[in-house]
Chains A and B, each alone.
Chain A
Amino acid sequence: MTVKIINGVKKITAGSVILYAILIVLVFVCLYPFLNVLAYSLSGYNSVLSGKVTFYPIDFNLDAYKEILGKKQIWFSMRTTVLVTLMGTALSLALTILAAYALSRKKLPGKKLFSGLILFTMYFSGGMIPTFMVVKGLNLYDTLGALFIPQAINVFNFIVMRTFFRELPESLEEAALIDGASEVQVLFRIILPLSLAIIATMGLFYAVGYWNSYFDALLYIQNPDKYTLQLRLRSLLFGEELNNAGGGLEGGGTRVMTQSLKMATVAVSTIPILIVYPWLQKYFVKGVMLGSVKG
């Protein structure tokens, strides 16, 4: 609390009380939906149906989790998503680092042209259908490759990375180059070890992006065995048919899955992010600032 010292007596101001109160309410609003999911997923079938669950589980049990984790489909989807996230993040980081490092060098002839061509894609793109046709034409349709290769580089992440590389002291590179190191050696031996924080941030952004993306899978994946976790989650939550409002948001008619089962699936697909999140938080704030201020 803000404490004012008046005549040697500590005094808590009314303003600061209001401030903290509002922030606590905000925090609650941010957290409550997650608590709601947990409460539903851990509650008994009848308590959920009777509408008693709000803040905490009633008739605590793990049945929903047991059932969801006993489904083969979920494990298939989990495997697909983990694979896509790992391969995608690796490819994205590799390409972004290469582009950012090469184009961070001030004296590279043609640097402006290449950067310009990359930035232009932020403002203009072929759009959904032409990209879809390219992916189909390359025989990537219905393969996992379609889920990460076409969106490997994110322009925003490229800008952040390039800004970071530019701010490293140039003398480091020059000294190494004079000592006979090649550009490749400079990148691997000098630049990368100094950039672990930003690489972690970008890695997190890419990984979360791949983990969370469902639309690419909706576009490019036909075979249900190759569904990613988010796509599986969507079809479990809202039914296969998108326009099917009956089985969709309002959940009228037959209830294929109980609400606790649905919420357990939501929890299962979100928990991995919640686990890595706190570890990387201190990095990404820096990354965002770097990108937005200089971008």
Chain B
Amino acid sequence: MGKSRKIKVQRQNYACSSRQIWRYRWLYVMLIPVIAFYIIFKYVPMYGVTIAFKDYNMFKGVFASPWCGFKVFEKIFKSSNFWLSVRNTLYLNLLTLAVSFPLTIIVALMLNEVRMLKFKKITQSILYLPHFVSWVVVAGIATNLFSQQGGTINNLLNSIGIPSIPFLSHQGWWVFTYVLCNVWKDIGWGTIIYLAALTGVDESLYEAAYLDGATKFQRLLYITLPCIKPVIVTMLILSVSKMMTIGLDAPLLLGNSKVMSISEVISTYVYRIGIERAKYSDSTAIGLFQSVVNIIILFFADRFAKLIGEEGII
């Protein structure tokens, strides 16, 4: 009985489907430009990655160039500059994450404690602001502040008798400046998500704990943090899954030839050999390597999230 009914329903669905498609025809019409966009600008380039496996010849085009297997990859994996860019990418990302991740949560927790609404609003507005400024501007400001010749910070240091610090031209100091600029730009913005999670914490929990004599710190430790743990884990996994990617704005604009051995990351390397030296196959192969590693990390991060009982991210 139940089975035959199921079949009937299925058949009905099937019979309906072409009529259903007709019923939603206007929605499909709306999707046409969107689909066209994705095919042309996203999926055709995905086909284009085949030039990583080809002896790409500009005059023959992507299709007609002869295949060459993994020759390009072999060449790249032997290149020390490539591994340097991989190392720098991981290093700069890890360092930025290690500083900005806890700091973002701490700032969010502090903002959440503020009871004066007006003060809170103004503080938030100002903290979000740097996120909306371009990296060109950030790099310009950074030069003005940190330059060894006439930079404001060094002027101040000199005036109290401390010699200038090579913030932008010494490798170690450059990393410091790089992380600082990143933290400055996005720490406030990062608090939004935690503040949202914090408003979701049940007030009655605090009241109960207060009556039980819990101190402020205990309330933070046993109520607030466990309540926002899912968000923390999700954000951490998302950040980890982006480990192999650095947008090229920051390293390209803050970097210079003196710190190249630390500022060259995968994306800037792809740009330099691809666009500046027109080695299309090599550059594409590196980009592909990066994408594939990203997907592998993402997959494992997602598995890990589910393993510890959090929602996945894919």
- Given A214-B249, A245-B256, A27-B126 contact (CB < 8 Å): yes
Cβ A250 vs Cβ B20 within 8 A: no
Chain A window 169-190, contacts with chain B (Cβ cutoff 8 Å), 1 for yes, 0 for no: 0000000000000111001000
Cβ B143 vs Cβ A29 within 8 A: no
Complex Cα–Cα for A22 and B123 (A): 11
Cβ A183 vs Cβ B26 within 8 A: yes
Cβ B136 vs Cβ A214 within 8 A: yes
Choice from B130, B140, B155, B249 contacting A215 with Cβ under 8 Å: B249
Cβ A108 vs Cβ B111 within 8 A: no
Tally A-B pairs: CB < 8 A.
Answer: 275
Complex Cα–Cα for A121 and B44 (A): 12
Task: Report A237-253 residues with CB < 8 Å from chain B CB.
Answer: 237-238, 242-245, 248-252
- Given A29-B184, A127-B291, A243-B257, A270-B31 contact (CB < 8 Å): no
Interface residue total, chain A, C-beta cutoff 8 A: 98
Choice from B41, B114, B132, B287 contacting A127 with Cβ under 8 Å: B287
Cβ A230 vs Cβ B126 within 8 A: no
Cβ A128 vs Cβ B188 within 8 A: no
- With most chain B CB atoms within 10 A of its CB, the pick from A99, A244, A250 is A250
- Given A126-B46, A133-B62, A37-B291 contact (CB < 8 Å): no
B interface: dominant SS: helix
A263 interface residue per 8 A CB criterion: yes
Closest to B241 in A: A123
Cβ A30 vs Cβ B249 within 8 A: no
Task: Report A86-130 residues with CB < 8 Å from chain B CB.
Answer: 95, 98-99, 101-103, 105, 107-110, 114, 117-118, 121, 123-130
Cβ A53 vs Cβ B152 within 8 A: yes
Complex Cα–Cα for A127 and B287 (A): 6
Closest to B109 in A: A19
Closest to A153 in B: B37
Choice from A149, A244, A251, A263 contacting B149 with Cβ under 8 Å: A251
- Given A23-B123, A29-B184, A109-B21, A266-B140 contact (CB < 8 Å): yes
Task: Report B217-252 residues with CB < 8 Å from chain A CB.
Answer: 248-249, 252
Complex Cα–Cα for A23 and B122 (A): 11
A193 interface residue per 8 A CB criterion: no
Cβ A95 vs Cβ B33 within 8 A: yes
A-chain residues with CB within 8 Å of residue B88 when the two chains form the complex? none
Complex Cα–Cα for A110 and B23 (A): 13
- Given A101-B30, A211-B134, A230-B134, A125-B291 contact (CB < 8 Å): yes
Complex Cα–Cα for A285 and B267 (A): 30
Complex Cα–Cα for A233 and B30 (A): 39
B211 interface residue per 8 A CB criterion: no
Cβ B41 vs Cβ A233 within 8 A: no
Besides A51-B159, A99-B34, A129-B283, 9 new A-B residue pairs in contact (Cβ under 8 A), listed by A number: A30-B127, A31-B126, A51-B155, A101-B30, A102-B27, A125-B46, A231-B136, A237-B139, A289-B196
Can you list 14 A-B pairs, Cβ within 8 angstroms, ordered by A?
Answer: A33-B130, A33-B141, A37-B140, A51-B158, A114-B31, A123-B291, A123-B294, A125-B291, A128-B274, A212-B135, A230-B134, A231-B136, A252-B149, A273-B132
